[in-house]
Structure 1
């Protein structure tokens, strides 16, 4: 069945969002930019904050962003509806002393970030993107556009490559970016030029490698969407779209989007889900509503967190890797993620609530559970539940090629997730 025009428009907007978000720092900035464009006020953590009732606000901390709307009649015990996601993706990060090369080639020294499918990064035009810390104390974003490539060794020089490719993470994953003598070149100059700052002013940097190709809709009935960083910009984008469309009510819950960094590394950072960012924001929001520790905990007891991250669609070529019965597929709706060992935080009460939010949005849901012999990963859900004690449900969309440089999703699932997020924000 052809996907709806609204779903296709959502996918094209996601392609714009991913293109503007090659690093977590760009993603956080893009979240803020989009929300400010529809009337949200940018707040800074080092400032005192205005009265919050009836307002729409966004705060950026490094590569993370938290935004929220406060009902006009909000009180100290008003619950929160928190839609959580993450801004980072597996790939490569630029090392210190990053300009290398030999035999006439210029290369960039990178280290592996998270758990990428290394072979998927071969033979693609790649970009460098991230933040630069300057001598005057300022921070700017940089994005070189297509600059690098990891060229694969020709089959003539490795006749057994199709029997299994194993890349050495140190010696075989250093991309080329030019020709010449490494002693006379500086890859940081490319970043400085893209940010329009002098290279001599750079004192520090957090820079990653990202695919430079734009996301694309394709396939029969235009059912598929392929892009880099769908894990987890697909969820961040759904949350931004839903919160931007959420009209601040007189009564109801505080609607919150929490887009964290460093999920692919375990979330243990000042801008990760295991860090204090969300708790810091909640404490300040509720303090401005007159809450103390006790009444804030009352609010938490009635609150929900919807932790949204991608999950596995059944793969037609590797069906045995999946549960033999529970087999979600692209185009059949968002997924509810369950795990007996609490790798996901979903329980029976959360399941019932998720189905209610889906029904209200007119969306069909699928379940996801791992094959017992193939342990699943985890996400921010259990971390948020543990840190704050807020009831949490783990959900997402099914994809193929997870942790590839370019992942595959269903166009209708992307749109349906945003619809459920809108339903969720209403409480």
Structure 2
């Protein structure tokens, strides 16, 4: 296969804008929906009756979005081609009683979400973003994208052994950020956010809030071959999937399948929610699409039997300082193309037939790919891939982009790989 072309600067610049504008899953799906609308997709409500018309459609539910494009004349039993991803990232999330503090410091009470690299949140300027729910049941997005909070690390003078024994953090005591001085006042944080969002006092009755690094994404290195930024796990895949779906929908070419993007919430803590991959969202949308086109249960079964899903999530590039932690014969490199993830114990859903589907898509797109398998002595992570395969009976393949610093507040990838992933996803969706 020929060498990969130099990265598409426009695609990577756009990814950087998407990452910066999406500090929470709710912002991520709102930005995805905006891109879909510009490409001619329209939102359909789950509470409405659906029609079987052709064209692009999408459903929003909390921090999740499912979008699909029905080609003209698609039969009810037409199979789907699905890109699966997730919108959430490990971070610190605000507790129900957020106002706390001690010794003249005002702090915000936070809970650990998922499995973040805790040290990466120390001594970093943090903003606050998420979703506010009002008395009338409506929601508003809020994003304080300036230095607002900070988790200060203990000075080395008070912990002389930290450099030799390693940093040891108590999740309850050591990770509560400071945001001011003075006495603790109940309701202070929410009042501040109401003022920031232009909401009348006392109108906010619920919230889903999280901290984020306010340092913007940036090209890195002498030749700017690398990209540093937040939430690449897994907004990089959401962005690439959106680009692929809109490109295929706008091509005007006849499609043998129905291309789908499913971006779920709560992957980082098990996917068991109404917006997670282990919930009913994807299956319900696919079934209703079949039935809206006049299909029967038999048509649905036929469609699912021919469906393939690519579970796209970031994976581990070989680390130059910890190469022994990787499998000795599988060393994915950044800018080497997307990775195919394999685990025979089904932590990833890939099998030989799935590999063939992925290889065909990459060959069609003229994109190289690499293989990833964990070191036998190291526990293997997992994705939405096995969940999707088991819940829906859909053939699923785990793929992604190799990065460093996974689950850090700021991760690192190669500048070529996001575009190469988007190209291969487009080829896959074309069938």
TM-score (normalizing by structure 1): 0.97
Number of the residue aligned with 2:393: 389
* Offset of residue 199 of structure 1: 3.9
CA distance, structure 2, for counterparts of residue 315 and residue 230 of structure 1: 17
Number of the residue aligned with 1:413: 417
Number of the residue aligned with 1:78: 78
8 Å Cα contact 1:72/1:249 also seen in 2:
no
CA distance, structure 1, for counterparts of residue 79 and residue 227 of structure 2: 35
CA distance, structure 2, for counterparts of residue 301 and residue 426 of structure 1: 18
1:181-200 to structure 2, matched below 5 A, reads 181-183=183-185, 186-200=188-202
Greater alpha carbon shift after TM alignment, 181-190 vs 75-84: 181-190
Number of the residue aligned with 1:91: 91
8 Å Cα contact 1:105/1:179 also seen in 2:
yes
8 Å Cα contact 1:7/1:414 also seen in 2:
no
8 Å Cα contact 1:3/1:222 also seen in 2:
no
Number of the residue aligned with 2:104: 104
Greater alpha carbon shift after TM alignment, 332-341 vs 32-41: 32-41
Q: 2:233 aligns with which of 206, 231, 236?
A: 231
Gaps of 5+ in 2: none
1:341-352 to structure 2, matched below 5 A, reads 341-352=345-356
Matched, 1:202 2:204: yes
1:365-380 to structure 2, matched below 5 A, reads 365-380=369-384
1:16-55 to structure 2, matched below 5 A, reads 16-53=17-54, 55=55
Runs of 4+ in structure 1 deviating by more than 4 angstroms, as ranges, are 2-6
Deviations 1:117-175 (A, max 9, x none): 00000111111111111011111111111211111111122111112001110010000
8 Å Cα contact 2:354/2:396 also seen in 1:
yes
Number of the residue aligned with 1:422: 426
* Offset of residue 207 of structure 1: 0.9
8 Å Cα contact 1:130/1:141 also seen in 2:
yes
Deviations 1:74-108 (A, max 9, x none): 00111100000000000111001101112221110
Greater alpha carbon shift after TM alignment, 177-186 vs 63-72: 177-186
1:276-291 to structure 2, matched below 5 A, reads 276-291=280-295
8 Å Cα contact 2:16/2:218 also seen in 1:
yes
- Call closer, same or farther: CA 1:184–1:63 in 2, change over 3 Å: closer
Number of the residue aligned with 1:150: 151
Q: 1:177 aligns with which of 176, 179, 188?
A: 179
Matched, 1:326 2:335: no
Number of the residue aligned with 1:221: 223
CA distance, structure 1, for counterparts of residue 5 and residue 253 of structure 2: 29
Greater alpha carbon shift after TM alignment, 246-255 vs 13-22: 246-255
CA distance, structure 2, for counterparts of residue 421 and residue 7 of structure 1: 15
Q: 2:360 aligns with which of 356, 362, 379?
A: 356
* Offset of residue 184 of structure 1: 6.7
Q: Secondary structure at the match of 2:185?
A: helix
8 Å Cα contact 2:4/2:368 also seen in 1:
no
- Call closer, same or farther: CA 1:200–1:350 in 2, change over 3 Å: same
TM-score (normalizing by structure 2): 0.96
CA distance, structure 2, for counterparts of residue 266 and residue 160 of structure 1: 36
The count of corresponding residues between Structure 1 and Structure 2 is 425
1:250-289 to structure 2, matched below 5 A, reads 250-289=254-293
* RMSD (Å), alpha carbons: 1.5
Q: Secondary structure at the match of 2:382?
A: coil
Number of the residue aligned with 2:122: 122
CA distance, structure 1, for counterparts of residue 222 and residue 372 of structure 2: 25
Greater alpha carbon shift after TM alignment, 42-51 vs 203-212: 42-51
CA distance, structure 2, for counterparts of residue 5 and residue 34 of structure 1: 25
Deviations 1:235-258 (A, max 9, x none): 000001111111354442100000
Q: Secondary structure at the match of 2:191?
A: helix
8 Å Cα contact 1:228/1:407 also seen in 2:
yes
* Offset of residue 6 of structure 1: 4.8
